[in-house]
Amino acid sequence: MAGKFTLSGFSDEIDEMIPVQFEHLNQLGIRYFEPRGINGKNISALSDDEVLALKEEMDRYGISVSSIGSPIGKIRITDDFEPHMEQLARTIRTAKMLGTRFIRMFSFYIPDGKYEEYRDEVMRRLKAMTAMAEEEGVILLHENEKGIYGDIAPRCLDLLTEVASPCLKAVFDPANFVQCGQKTFPEAYELLKDHVVYMHIKDALADGTVVPSGYGEGHVAEILQALSDRGYEGFLSLEPHLGTFKGLEFLEIKAGPAGQKSEINKEKSTADTFDIAYCALMEILRKAE
């Protein structure tokens, strides 16, 4: 089964500094990463010069980009949209400079669970974003996330079928579904399997606590086997969330509704916690051989 998958990961959970991230990826034999935190700065905020410097480091260590781990769409649906389109344009430029067509994104935080009230505005924004992606030749990857419109599988399917573009596809994140009370397999997988082109490797217990893959309720092994049976040949991106890391507060709390955060361990994320996530995934893949 493992031969059909290509490993990647959010290496900012190893360390905030790129050389440390890349040295550790080299040690693990992982040749891709999903850039999010770059030397303490978010990937979407890098200047051209900073992107070029990152590319030089990538070339030095033999690392490529699987997808841009952007925060696009991780704002409130009531927030001003035009600056966000400018940020998307900047992120698309970064993606092209780094040699990837994939950009991870979200579908806006919805106040007080008023999904139907804001559905039309969500779709208007997603269609505008996807139109830009189509024009620029990139693919937006929608990640299911707590508190956004596409938090559970039926609403993910709703936005994917409403926009109906080859430039809007799905990231499947098992832990995020578990944290929303959404059963991942077979329910979520069966609804979304035709749209999934990218996997985040993260698992969680029923109470929302993030754990290594295979130790929670995300049915990671079953999903990977089902993808393999369908001939999936995409990325498996390690997103351990087994400890805190620089930028997590912005990503999980400030951008979302009050109190919206992951139930992760309070210890600092390190190379060791990344290794735990890596070894757990390798064990799943080994057992499936």
Pairs from 85-92 (Cβ < 8 Å, separation ≥ 24)? 85/128, 85/129, 85/132, 87/44, 88/129, 88/132, 89/132, 90/44, 91/43, 91/44, 92/132, 92/133, 92/136, 92/138
Please tell me the predicted confidence (pLDDT) of residue 265: 53
Note whether 39 and 267 are within 8 A (CB): no
Q: How many folded domains does the chain comprise? A: 1
**246 has pLDDT over 70:** no
Joined together, the tokens standing for residue 53 give 């410097």
pLDDT per residue as tens digits for the range 22-33? 999 999 999 999
Please tell me the predicted confidence (pLDDT) of residue 288: 83
**95 has pLDDT over 70:** yes
State the CATH number of the domain containing residue 254: 3.20.20.150
Please tell me the predicted confidence (pLDDT) of residue 2: 52
List the domain range (segments joined by +) for residue 277.
2-287
Q: Picking from 109-123, 155-169, 203-217, 266-280, which range would have the lowest pLDDT averaged per residue?
A: 266-280
- Rounded to two decimals, what is the model's pTM? 0.92
Q: Picking from 40-54, 106-120, 257-271, which range would have the lowest pLDDT averaged per residue?
A: 257-271
Please tell me the predicted confidence (pLDDT) of residue 154: 98
Dihedral (CA of 72, 239, 187, 168) sign:
positive
CB neighbours (10 Å) of residue 190? 11
